[in-house]
């Protein structure tokens, strides 16, 4: 069973459900979303809570307000999906990089990964790969999947044979097979030292400072579907994000 994060606030849950509906094209161009009053009555929440959910969707560029008419989904080719940016960026990695499989997809017990995925079991599916650009390895990634998600990839030959090299990403493969699209990624960035294993894969000295980026991917329905732990060589990777003041 796919797990959902616990203790969601009412506005976060409403924003997620509206986001999923927009991604399913339930509100094509010209079709108004329900009003604040309609949503407040439907979900038994306050109009202020609904307004907060709409504010998040406006900030993401998923919807826009038309005075006197209501709230509408932004045309698909104009959407600025700020919250989905990390997902889109990762999917785009297949355009100019390749993935070399170093640890084939397999089942294992991993208490920490299972806990971060909100599972009721200690078993997960795991694989690991190198990401290369022009034959230069710049990243090592370990991917952990809930059992129900890992089973969707067990028949993919590119993930079962070590040494396989292909121009795709794991979340691309998942996005085609999951019943709901991948919509969000919660990310943390830290520094870690290169272990002997990582140093061997990345061609650096043991103890070298690496950029560690952890991402937990969530589907449009709020299910946790993947934990990816990546270690980057800092000379081959930079991370940039644009911060904007709200209301501008």
Residue 8 has what pLDDT? 64
Residue intervals in the chain for CATH 3.40.1410.10: 85-236
Residue 97 has what pLDDT? 77
Any idea which fold 85-236 has? Chorismate lyase (3.40.1410)
Residue intervals in the chain for CATH 1.10.10.10: 10-78
Cβ distance 112 to 98 under 8 Å?
no
Q: What is the DSSP letter of 160?
A: T
Residue 46 has what pLDDT? 92
Taking the CA of residue 204 as centre, how many other CA atoms within 13 Å lie in the half-sphere pointing to its CB?
22
Q: Which residue do the tokens 């409403």 mark?
A: 14
Residue 42 has what pLDDT? 93
- CA nearest neighbour of 101 among 126, 124, 125, 127: 127
pTM, entire model: 0.66
> Average pLDDT for consecutive 10-residue bins of the chain (248 residues)?
58 86 83 93 92 86 86 67 42 64 95 95 96 86 96 90 81 87 86 95 94 91 92 78 55
Q: Residue 99 — φ and ψ, nearest 5°?
A: -115, 120
- CA nearest neighbour of 20 among 183, 173, 177: 183
Residue 158 has what pLDDT? 85
Residue 56 has what pLDDT? 84
**CATH class (in words) of the domain with range 10-78:** mainly alpha
């Amino acid at each position: 069973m796919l797990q959902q994060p616990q203790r969601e606030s009412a506005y976060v849950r409403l924003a997620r459900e509206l986001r999923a509906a927009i991604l399913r094209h339930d509100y094509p161009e010209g079709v108004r979303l329900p009003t604040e009053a309609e949503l407040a009555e439907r979900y038994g929440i306050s109009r202020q809570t609904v307004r907060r959910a709409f504010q998040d969707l406006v900030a993401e560029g998923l919807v826009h307000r038309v005075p006197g008419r209501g709230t509408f989904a932004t045309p698909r080719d104009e959407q600025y999906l700020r919250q989905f940016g990390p997902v889109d960026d990762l999917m785009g990695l297949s355009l100019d990089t390749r993935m070399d499989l170093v640890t084939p997809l397999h089942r294992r017990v991993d208490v920490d990964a299972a806990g971060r995925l909100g599972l009721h079991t200690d078993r997960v599916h795991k694989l690991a790969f190198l990401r290369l650009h022009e034959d230069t390895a710049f990243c090592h990634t370990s991917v952990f999947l809930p059992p129900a998600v890992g089973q969707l990839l067990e028949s993919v030959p590119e993930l079962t044979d070590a040494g396989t090299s292909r121009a795709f990403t794991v979340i691309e493969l998942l996005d085609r097979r999951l019943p709901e699209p991948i919509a969000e990624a919660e990310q943390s960035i830290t520094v870690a030292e290169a272990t002997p294993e990582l140093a061997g894969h990345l061609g650096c000295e043991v103890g070298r400072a690496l950029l560690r980026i952890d991402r937990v991917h969530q589907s449009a329905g709020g299910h946790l579907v993947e934990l990816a732990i990546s270690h980057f060589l800092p000379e081959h990777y930079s991370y940039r994000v644009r911060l904007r003041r709200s209301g501008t």
